[in-house]
């Protein structure tokens, strides 16, 4: 059997960390099996789906390295869904219902008051052809429900293990709304069957849908036609609470454009949280795929901690070669050459943090020298160690200055930093001094803007 998975975003919004984790786990599983990935655009909601969202979702997936082998949109396949609808009607498994939202609400309230579960009472099943003709003549538009078997649906979940749902405790799901639009349930099954999808991996918020879908698979594709299913635990915040609104809607676009994260930091974190593996950065998706196993996924929620994402990002940046960094540096207009990159990278969390360093190194920097420090700073310029500056130069130099002037602590260090960088705060002086170089350092200590 050739493994085939699908990721099925609805282009009604952007990708965020939660749905990217689903995409990632699908891709990792497929790659671990030499299988294929289908990107299905679930745009049956024609009002809320936009081309702009679809393009942005694809751009995000490409940036993350989550490629696909095949893609299509559901809006191109309405004829298939119509045929499936007819097949279910012919089998007596899809029936029209005329209750309004208000009527359904009232029924649920009464059930709750009687301590009964709010399961649809199937009143529409007893409508006669005459009743229906009358309602149609009144201009009432039906919505359509799938008739569940009422039995127990069992499957071995790839993540949750042996699972079951008693369909008697679930309402017959609405597959088609009164306005004729399809909910995702039926089109998804039709497409999974047509595309020969072998594994459905999605969040555990879909578990109840899965039971109904297994019955729809069997109605349309025959016994045993439902793909294997895995339902992953949802993401929670670092404190174990529901993902906050801000984090839950954290878009990949923001992580990329505003924060400047590396795609592999995002993928590494999302692949490792909620698993038995340690959360650590990996250089490429193939490594993550090689390490992927359903058995490692925990049933308890996966904690998404932005601080951990930063830690992984920093680790990737610290190990990034100049060749890999160079295009990014060029785009930031902050390419100071290989030596600068190699010296500076251990201090960075994001590649873009390099900008500040390069600006201080290359200048022009206007030295900030207080009147009362002018003599001291000038003397410091005269006392700069001879020859090329190294990682030790700062401590050798400030040690000698301390001895010569009696200054120490802030009175010693702050005027030097202010003269050399024009700022009160910034990178470690011991590291930046050799990059500034003796010539520029001396000039700045003499008050020259270079």
Nearer to ligand GLU, 42 or 308 (CB): 42
Q: Min. distance of Cβ 19 from ligand GLU in angstroms?
A: 7
Neighbour tally for 59: CB within 10 Å: 15
Q: x-or-dash pattern for ligand GLU, window 34-53, by CB under 6 A?
A: --------x-----------
216 binds ligand GLU (CB under 6 A): no
Selected from 4, 5, 9, 294, the binder of ligand GLU by CB under 6 A is 9
Q: Min. distance of Cβ 48 from ligand GLU in angstroms?
A: 12
- Please spell the DSSP secondary structure of 72-97, one letter per residue: EEGGG-HHHHHHHHHHHHHTT-EEEE
Q: Min. distance of Cβ 10 from ligand GLU in angstroms?
A: 4
Q: x-or-dash pattern for ligand GLU, window 171-210, by CB under 6 A?
A: -------------x---x-------------x--------
Look up tokens 């202010």; give the residue: 418
Q: Min. distance of Cβ 309 from ligand GLU in angstroms?
A: 23
Nearer to ligand GLU, 13 or 337 (CB): 13
d(Cα 351, Cα 89) in Å, to the nearest integer?
58
Look up tokens 């039971």; give the residue: 211
Region binding ligand GLU by CB under 6 A among candidate stretches 2-10, 256-264, 308-316, 379-387: 2-10
- State the burial class of residue 81 (Cβ atoms within 10 Å of its Cβ: 0-12, 13-18, 19+): buried
Nearer to ligand GLU, 184 or 341 (CB): 184
Classified as helix, coil or strand, 170 is coil
Selected from 4, 5, 10, 95, the binder of ligand GLU by CB under 6 A is 10
Cβ–Cβ under 8 Å, residues 345 and 384: no
Q: Min. distance of Cβ 334 from ligand GLU in angstroms?
A: 39
Q: x-or-dash pattern for ligand GLU, window 127-166, by CB under 6 A?
A: ----------------------------------------
d(Cα 176, Cα 181) in Å, to the nearest integer?
6
Region binding ligand GLU by CB under 6 A among candidate stretches 7-15, 57-65, 131-139, 377-385: 7-15
Sheet bearing 4-7, strands edge to edge: 70-73, 36-41, 4-7, 199-203, 228-232
Please give the residue whose beta carbon sits closest to ligand GLU in the complex: 42
Cβ–Cβ under 8 Å, residues 317 and 304: no
The dihedral built from the CA positions of residue 70, 74, 79 and 82, taken in this order, carries a sign that is positive
Cα distances (Å, whole numbers) of residue 134 to 107, 129, 180, 417: 22, 9, 19, 87
E strands in 78-151? 94-97, 143-146
d(Cα 320, Cα 323) in Å, to the nearest integer?
8
Residues 252-271 that bind ligand GLU (CB under 6 A): none
Q: Min. distance of Cβ 240 from ligand GLU in angstroms?
A: 24
Residues in contact with ligand GLU by the rule CB under 6 A? 8-10, 42, 184, 188, 202
């Amino acid at each position: 059997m050739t493994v085939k998975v699908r990721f099925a975003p609805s282009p009604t919004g952007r990708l965020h960390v939660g749905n990217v984790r689903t995409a990632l786990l699908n891709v990792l599983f497929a790659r671990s099996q030499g299988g294929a990935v289908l990107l299905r655009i679930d745009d049956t909601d024609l009002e809320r789906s936009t081309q702009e969202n679809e393009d942005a979702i694809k751009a995000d997936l490409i940036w993350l390295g989550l490629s696909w082998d095949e893609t299509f949109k559901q809006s191109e396949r309405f004829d298939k869904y119509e045929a499936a609808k007819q097949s279910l009607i012919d089998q007596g498994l899809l029936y029209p219902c005329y209750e309004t939202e208000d009527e359904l609400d009232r029924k649920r309230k009464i059930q709750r008051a009687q301590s009964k579960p709010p399961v649809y009472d199937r009143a529409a099943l007893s409508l006669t052809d005459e009743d229906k003709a009358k309602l149609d003549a009144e201009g009432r538009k039906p919505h359509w429900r799938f008739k569940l078997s009422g039995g127990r649906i069992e499957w071995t979940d790839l993540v949750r293990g042996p699972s079951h749902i008693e369909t008697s405790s679930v309402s017959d799901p609405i597959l088609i709304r009164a306005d004729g639009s399809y909910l995702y349930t039926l089109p998804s099954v039709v497409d999974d069957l047509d595309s020969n999808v072998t594994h459905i991996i999605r969040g555990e918020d879909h578990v109840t849908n899965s039971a109904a879908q297994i019955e729809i698979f069997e109605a349309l594709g025959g016994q045993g036609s439902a793909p294997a299913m895995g339902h992953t635990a949802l993401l929670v915040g670092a404190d174990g609470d529901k993902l906050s609104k801000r984090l839950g809607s954290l878009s990949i676009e923001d992580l990329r454009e505003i924060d400047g994260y590396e795609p592999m930091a995002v993928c590494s974190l999302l692949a490792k949280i909620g698993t038995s593996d340690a959360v650590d950065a990996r250089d490429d998706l193939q490594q993550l795929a090689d390490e992927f196993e359903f058995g490692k996924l925990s049933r308890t929620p996966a904690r998404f901690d932005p601080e951990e994402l930063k830690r992984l990002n920093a680790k990737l940046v610290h190990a990034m070669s100049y060749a890999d960094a160079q295009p990014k540096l060029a785009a930031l207009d902050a390419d100071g050459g290989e030596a600068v990159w190699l010296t500076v990278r251990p201090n960075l969390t994001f590649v873009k943090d390099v900008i500040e360093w390069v600006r201080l190194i290359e200048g022009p920097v206007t030295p900030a020298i207080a009147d009362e420090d002018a003599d001291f700073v000038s003397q410091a310029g005269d006392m700069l160690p001879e020859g090329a500056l190294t990682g030790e130069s700062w401590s050798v130099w400030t040690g000698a200055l301390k001895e010569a002037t009696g200054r120490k602590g802030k009175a010693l260090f702050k005027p030097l930093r202010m003269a050399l960088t024009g700022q009160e705060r910034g990178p470690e002086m011991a590291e930046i001094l050799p990059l500034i170089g003796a010539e520029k350092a001396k000039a700045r200590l003499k008050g020259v803007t270079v």
